Structure 1
Amino acid sequence: MPKPRKTEATPAELYGPLLACVQERGILADGKTFVDAVPLRPIADIMADFERLSPGDEALRRFVDANFRLPARFDPPDPAAPTQSLRAHIRAMWSNLARDPQSGAINSSALPVGHRHVVPGGRFREIYYWDSFFTMLGLVRDGEIALATGIVDALTDLIEDHGHVPNGTRTYYLGRSQPPLFHMMVALLDDARPDVAARRLAAMKREHAWWMEGAEDLAPGMRAHRVARLADGSLLNRYWDPRGTPRDESWREDVETATGSGRPAGDVYRDLRAGAESGWDFSSRWLEGTSLSSIRTTAIAPIDLNAFLFGLETAIAACGDSDATLYAEGAERRREAVTRHLWNEEERYFGDYDLELDQLRPSITAAALAPLLAGLATGEQADATARATRKHLLAPGGLRTTLVDSGQQWDSPNGWAPLQWIAVAGLRRYGHPELAQEIARRWVATVEATYLRTGLLYEKYDVESPAIGRGGEYAPQIGFGWTNGVTADLIDAVEDAKRL
């Protein structure tokens, strides 16, 4: 087990003006490069020398090279015709994406990880929270139980150390989490050993408490942290981050977004951070207009977040300990709140709730399927959701993310592996196997067609073409953990069904 770090300070806290200078001048192509670097000398000495540094980008670049060990550059292989089937390629990729336990060098941004685990790939060199569940689907399918268990053990450590699972295992991610799927990972492994089950149940309760912080004292119409009390007393959750500063890893982009927005910069930064916590970074779901500067994530109660928390509450209740009734009652109150405020009775699908305007947000998104996955929907709601999904979200290459083409990566024309699986699993749960099968078939065909052209798997795909996805703050990444896991699970599920 790696030793605890001596500091959990972020790069922005450690390097202040140096980080701002490096990021805003753009001397490194990817803003994540510098924040993942390791200092080669005491920070006080580095900062003292920085104050005397001659102006100019070249001098700054030489200074960074001399004082930091930058992460190894990742150059993706050139596309080439594959030499093995898609399913065989996925099996072979697990060893490439697996990482040994990490101690986390002092004053680097890396958090310690005490277990062997899997990373997404490309620029994503560390564990990411909700990615990990979808990656685990493939690991379990391929018998990589030790790797899957290592992920859950690592996430359990993180909850015990921080009260939540950070967005990723970096200090600059500690202010935010991601969609809370830890309980689904626990269920996927189904480890009944009493000591293991007790520890994971305790972690689930602690994570729930973190998401619900401030709820008990919240008056109607008020918001605090990640909770919002509506005028009728209903309680819903939102995404939020306590830091009103640019994201360390996307500093330049966030400064540019806030500049000229006409809004207090801190509000923009917090909404960007909350958008990153959602996993949908970024999407028209969070925008007031078409510009990213109109982002207002913290003013929205998302349907998928509240469905996942319903799932967490019901999972804790199902464990049957002395607190079971308390969590079961909380789940029922959440079901009532979601039904009252996040169900679009006129259009017949679930949506996000605008906490400031006190109304549902317009337009269906793939998040509407999350209540089916969690078992929150009624049978009638599930049937209506299936009809709306077929009418609006079913694309030639899988499930659409949204109906809006904003240029953001979590919008049309992109489709994402986790959203395909959530939809397929939710539709199957409520007796719509034909639509589930159609989404799965189209998604696998998209991934396979691109794989046959390039020999690679990507983090996102254009489900209209189909082709490699586009948009966002960085080039499409290959690897790729959750695409591998979801695609493997869907391929195998189809084959399993054929054998029945």
Structure 2
Amino acid sequence: MSSCSSARGPVAPSVPLIAFLERVQEAALSIFGASGFDPKRYVDLSLKSDLPAAERAFDELRASATAQDWETFIRSYFEDAGGDLEHYEPPDYTPEPEGFLPAVKSREMREWALEVHALWKSLSRKISDGVRTRPDSHTLIPVPNPLVIPGSRFREAYYWDSYWVIRGLLASKMYETAKAVVKNLIYLANRYGYVLNGARAYYTNRSQPPLLSAMVREIYDATHDLELVKISLQALLNEYEFWNSGIKYRNPCNLGKHKVTIQDAEGRIHTLSRYYAKWDKPRPESSTTDKESASKLSSASEKANLYWELASAAESGWDFSARWMRDPLDFTTMAATSVLPVDLNAFILGMEHDIAFFAEVIGDKSTFERFVMASEARKEAITSIFWNEQKGQWLDYWLNYSNSCSEPYIWDTLNQNQNVYASNFVPLWINPFYSDASMVHKVVNSLKHSGLLQASGIATSLQNSGQQWDFPNGWAPLQHMIVEGLVKSGSTDARQMAEDIAARWIRTNYAAYKQTGKMHEKYNVVNCGEFGGGGEYVPQTGFGWSNGVVLAFLEEFGWPQDREIIDRE
């Protein structure tokens, strides 16, 4: 595979197929009702025959269809969701890898860790031949290598999930599988100019938190694979351009881009980034859900604006949270494009460091110098715009469109979001912030008194909005980033806090697994062993990033035999 691509910008998806599957989704909702209904299933279906034949059958069926008629139609014209993937046996999987989790001495914990490790085999897939020979009959994008899916309804490669999948694969000594996961994302970045939210044609409207460079860096540190660095660099430069300009689209000021300039209190101009999807229609995978949300609005422009904001919030990976809402009690006040997010800019700072490192490794002096300068500028911007000395946290910043539609925006302390989110502590994961002893001390103290630390991990927020990225849910990525940042700081107090958080998180994952036999997408951090809820779909199992974080924590901290795992019955 070439490290660069002649294709730039979005490659057109199978628009007629997606539009038809949205019609199928809407009809299914009318037949079966909302209870237990998953709209994503219907846009993941694959055609058995040609599209016109399926459309004719659909049009003939709709008026008098019963549930039985409907299921007959689905079986006759479609392969079910997930049918375009085949189970795959990773060649580097072994039931108990050599050197696996040497710090774990507890027999019970080790047995469980091996069961979690075995989930990589059950989550591994390869693209079926039919997707490559008849791509217009599928919404699945045929990535070139085998992949690891998150689990349940998430039947394709996902972007930021893959970072924690890779961390788990590295703990499992599955280096070739980890490389295959990354090479699929590199393929997407080269083909589209950025890594898609997921490897589906309906995800071409947005990306997800940019962690590709961090994945390459983790694999390089573990394997010293110089060739992987070489083939990734152009993809990373493509992605960096996307996050620092982006395809112009629409907003109240017609600025349409990820890049934002803002003037701080001292008059210095900074460049930062935001989430910004190029989409003002219902998300195909949630079309019926989005239309229901927009039904509360009166005008077509208001609805289009909500759809755009929903897609932009989905690009954040936090879909959804009161973090993006001007009124946490009103879902239609979603305003993700008006937020300069702390965590996104921390991720891009990490990308700048990584690109500089890779450029130095391969001897590209000009790229190295460019990204050293870029990282220094972004570090200053993050400190100037987001850092709140009084709270000891980095705070999201609300952009104010009321005064002017021209940039730069003028910083005002009143526009910092004073609410506490786990994302307020994510910059600690990135150098140089974890290297600043004074700042680490303030952040540790702030986290300790933030209210986020609960019996079973770090809460996502303190707001119980009913959305899944809010209280009382905790998510594996947030636990890991904060814990690893605390460890990297080298502070004894910070490490003790990190070990305590990791122990709480491992304990609740273990307890839930023993009760349900499954790893879960998210957990209730108030009640040990209880998985999370809320949001627009039922709780999912599998689960890629939860598996990866548990294995990474066990590799880092172990689990001493004399520490109680859970209350035994």
| Common fold by TM > 0.5 | yes
Alignment correspondent of 1:421: 480
Instruction: Tell me how far apart the structure 2 counterparts of residues 333 and 241 of structure 1 sit (CA, whole Å).
Output: 25
How far off is 1:280 after superposition?
0.8
Instruction: Tell me how far apart the structure 1 counterparts of residues 40 and 23 of structure 2 sit (CA, whole Å).
Output: 15
CA contact (8 A) 1:24 1:251 kept: no
SS at match of 1:235: strand
Match of 1:165 among 195, 215, 228: 195
CA contact (8 A) 2:44 2:138 kept: yes
Amino acid at match of 1:68: F
CA contact (8 A) 1:152 1:186 kept: yes
Distance 1:23 1:328, change over 3 A: farther
SS at match of 2:63: coil
Alignment correspondent of 2:81: 71
Alignment correspondent of 1:25: 30
CA contact (8 A) 2:25 2:43 kept: no
Amino acid at match of 1:67: Y
Instruction: Tell me how far apart the structure 2 counterparts of residues 102 and 336 of structure 1 sit (CA, whole Å).
Output: 48
Distance 1:163 1:215, change over 3 A: closer
Alignment correspondent of 2:270: 234
Instruction: Tell me how far apart the structure 1 counterparts of residues 274 and 532 of structure 2 sit (CA, whole Å).
Output: 27
Instruction: Tell me how far apart the structure 2 counterparts of residues 10 and 435 of structure 1 sit (CA, whole Å).
Output: 50
Amino acid at match of 2:424: A
Q: Does 1:360 align with 2:416?
A: yes
Amino acid at match of 2:347: F
CA contact (8 A) 1:215 1:228 kept: no
Alignment correspondent of 1:390: 448
Instruction: Tell me how far apart the structure 2 counterparts of residues 11 and 27 of structure 1 sit (CA, whole Å).
Output: 24
How far off is 1:345 after superposition?
2.6
More off after superposition, 85-94 vs 421-430:
85-94
Instruction: Tell me how far apart the structure 1 counterparts of residues 379 and 143 of structure 2 sit (CA, whole Å).
Output: 36
Q: Identity of counterpart residues, as a percentage?
A: 32
Distance 1:293 1:283, change over 3 A: same
Instruction: Tell me how far apart the structure 1 counterparts of residues 174 and 419 of structure 2 sit (CA, whole Å).
Output: 40
CA contact (8 A) 1:284 1:406 kept: yes
Instruction: Tell me how far apart the structure 2 counterparts of residues 114 and 22 of structure 1 sit (CA, whole Å).
Output: 34
Q: Does 1:251 align with 2:287?
A: yes
Q: Does 1:325 align with 2:386?
A: no
Instruction: Tell me how far apart the structure 2 counterparts of residues 34 and 211 of structure 1 sit (CA, whole Å).
Output: 31
Distance 1:63 1:284, change over 3 A: same
Structure 2 length normalisation: TM-score?
0.80
Instruction: Tell me how far apart the structure 2 counterparts of residues 379 and 47 of structure 1 sit (CA, whole Å).
Output: 63
Q: Does 1:134 align with 2:161?
A: no
Distance 1:194 1:397, change over 3 A: closer
Structure 1 length normalisation: TM-score?
0.90
CA contact (8 A) 2:44 2:82 kept: no
Instruction: Tell me how far apart the structure 2 counterparts of residues 372 and 155 of structure 1 sit (CA, whole Å).
Output: 26
Instruction: Tell me how far apart the structure 1 counterparts of residues 247 and 50 of structure 2 sit (CA, whole Å).
Output: 42
CA contact (8 A) 2:82 2:155 kept: no
Amino acid at match of 1:100: K
Instruction: Tell me how far apart the structure 2 counterparts of residues 215 and 336 of structure 1 sit (CA, whole Å).
Output: 26
SS at match of 1:445: helix
Alignment correspondent of 2:567: none
CA contact (8 A) 1:12 1:19 kept: no
How far off is 1:362 after superposition?
2.0
CA contact (8 A) 1:8 1:171 kept: yes
How far off is 1:95 after superposition?
0.7
Q: Does 1:275 align with 2:275?
A: no
Q: Does 1:153 align with 2:183?
A: yes
CA contact (8 A) 2:483 2:499 kept: yes
SS at match of 1:111: coil
Instruction: Tell me how far apart the structure 1 counterparts of residues 22 and 531 of structure 2 sit (CA, whole Å).
Output: 37
Distance 1:326 1:268, change over 3 A: same
Instruction: Tell me how far apart the structure 1 counterparts of residues 154 and 247 of structure 2 sit (CA, whole Å).
Output: 34
Distance 1:222 1:47, change over 3 A: closer
Q: Does 1:404 align with 2:404?
A: no
| 1:99-110 mapped onto 2 (5 Å cutoff) | 99-103=125-129, 104=131, 105-106=134-135, 107-110=137-140
How far off is 1:24 after superposition?
5.2
Instruction: Tell me how far apart the structure 1 counterparts of residues 285 and 471 of structure 2 sit (CA, whole Å).
Output: 25
How far off is 1:438 after superposition?
0.9
How far off is 1:65 after superposition?
3.8
CA contact (8 A) 1:222 1:228 kept: no
Alignment correspondent of 1:305: 344
| 1:50-89 mapped onto 2 (5 Å cutoff) | 50-58=58-66, 62-71=72-81, 85-89=111-115
Distance 1:23 1:324, change over 3 A: farther
Instruction: Tell me how far apart the structure 2 counterparts of residues 280 and 384 of structure 1 sit (CA, whole Å).
Output: 26
Instruction: Tell me how far apart the structure 2 counterparts of residues 450 and 214 of structure 1 sit (CA, whole Å).
Output: 41
CA contact (8 A) 1:11 1:109 kept: no
CA contact (8 A) 1:126 1:169 kept: yes
How far off is 1:402 after superposition?
0.5
CA contact (8 A) 2:247 2:278 kept: no
Alignment correspondent of 1:94: 120
CA contact (8 A) 2:25 2:42 kept: no
How far off is 1:13 after superposition?
4.6
Instruction: Tell me how far apart the structure 2 counterparts of residues 419 and 72 of structure 1 sit (CA, whole Å).
Output: 28
SS at match of 2:523: strand
Q: In the TM superposition, what whole-angstrom CA distance separates every residue of 1:233-285 from its partner, at most 9, and x where no partner exists?
A: 32111111111011111111111111114571111011111111111111111
Alignment correspondent of 2:527: 465
Q: In the TM superposition, what whole-angstrom CA distance separates every residue of 1:3-23 from its partner, at most 9, and x where no partner exists?
A: x9x962246754277246336
Instruction: Tell me how far apart the structure 2 counterparts of residues 176 and 100 of structure 1 sit (CA, whole Å).
Output: 24
Alignment correspondent of 1:296: 335
Instruction: Tell me how far apart the structure 2 counterparts of residues 350 and 288 of structure 1 sit (CA, whole Å).
Output: 19
SS at match of 2:558: helix
Instruction: Tell me how far apart the structure 1 counterparts of residues 389 and 128 of structure 2 sit (CA, whole Å).
Output: 49
How far off is 1:495 after superposition?
2.1
Distance 1:142 1:343, change over 3 A: same
Match of 2:543 among 473, 476, 480: 480
Q: Does 1:185 align with 2:215?
A: yes
Instruction: Tell me how far apart the structure 1 counterparts of residues 174 and 380 of structure 2 sit (CA, whole Å).
Output: 39
CA contact (8 A) 1:102 1:114 kept: no
Amino acid at match of 1:131: D
Amino acid at match of 1:485: G
**Matched pairs, number:** 484
Match of 2:437 among 374, 379, 386: 379
Alignment correspondent of 1:344: 388
Instruction: Tell me how far apart the structure 2 counterparts of residues 67 and 177 of structure 1 sit (CA, whole Å).
Output: 31
Distance 1:395 1:134, change over 3 A: same
SS at match of 2:449: helix
More off after superposition, 272-281 vs 337-346:
337-346
How far off is 1:349 after superposition?
0.5
Instruction: Tell me how far apart the structure 2 counterparts of residues 46 and 139 of structure 1 sit (CA, whole Å).
Output: 41
Unpaired runs of 5+ residues, structure 1, are: 74-81
More off after superposition, 188-197 vs 143-152:
188-197
